[in-house]
Amino acid sequence: MDNAFKVIQTLNFYLSEHPSVVGFRWSHTQSWGSTWSFIFASIAIYIVTSLLLHLLLSIFLCHTKHVPLGPLPALHSLTVSIVSTIIFLGILLSTVAEIKETRWFWRRSKTPLQWLLCFPLGTRPSGRVFFWSYIFYLSRFLHMFITFFAILRCRKSVFLQLFYHSISTLMSFLWLEFSQSFQVLAILFTTLAYCVMYGYRFWTAFGLGGASLPLVLNFQMVLLGCNLVCHVGVLLLHLFRGGCNGIGAWVFNSILNSAILLLFVNFYVRANGKKKKDKIVGDCSLRCTK
């Protein structure tokens, strides 16, 4: 029991009380990848590299041939799952610590949920939660490797992945740059979903379970649905509670989220439709053989 308590204390210190976490400050001169030129250049390189790789494979390899990747995708999924778990625990513990330390400063009408949805005007990107927001931003570049794996292994169009990863990386940059409201809940929802999604992908990569596509799609749809509900909450708090910090970036974020939601809904409907069609065809074939 004592050992477990010591482990919890150690985790709490390194994830929410370490000087690097408490003293974090988003700065264009001190934080790696914090400039506008970096974010636009990195996204452009990601898109161009993906398209060029797809083009080169189409020219030099037959369409039916795939590049063997071995355990790389599985190891990548395991890494993303572990990183997402660390970020989830880090921002959860940091959020609890921030609420305990600053709640006395709030008005009586303000609740922790309102703070999670709506940062007060004048909030600066420093402290615990913004440290983990920064780590989450950096982890977005790790996610980009999924696109390269899909091109090498599946040789299919990856427009949806290119759009999603590019926009997600840009949005996480805007969260820090403008101290945007709602980002704490967004990171909690996203990293929790990634823990399960990529952990399941790692599990199925070794043939230990069924196909991961339905679970992955369902988690992504739940995530986008939660984001939509929270965006409505931010709007109401901004209009009726005196304003939320970073609302301009939030509006842009909402537009991008809407575009992503429409793309995923379209893909989700087509994927389920194809699954039902294949099931019907399979049932018909089974009846014909009897």
Residue 7 has pLDDT above 50, yes or no: yes
Highest mean pLDDT among 125-134, 190-199, 227-236 belongs to 125-134
pLDDT at residue 283, rounded to an integer: 39
Q: At what angle do helices 72-102 and 128-143 cross, to 10 degrees?
A: 170
Higher pLDDT, 143 or 59: 143
Give me the mean pLDDT over the 160-178 stretch: 91
Tell me the percentage of the chain whose pLDDT exceeds 70. 82
Residue 66 has pLDDT above 80, yes or no: no
Give me the mean pLDDT over the 124-129 stretch: 92
CA atoms in the 13 A half-sphere facing the CB of 232: 5
**Residue 54 banded pLDDT, cuts 50, 70, 90:** confident
**Residue 122 banded pLDDT, cuts 50, 70, 90:** confident
Which of 15-19, 32-36, 109-113 shows the lowest mean pLDDT across its residues? 109-113
φ, ψ at 282 (rounded to 5°): -65, -40
Residue 234 has pLDDT above 70, yes or no: yes
Q: How far apart are CA 104 and CA 89, in angstroms?
A: 24
Please give the full DSSP string across 121-175, using - where no structure is assigned: TT--SBSHHHHHHHHHHHHHHHHTHHHHHHHHHH----HHHHHHHHHHHHHHHHH
- Residues listed for the chain: 290
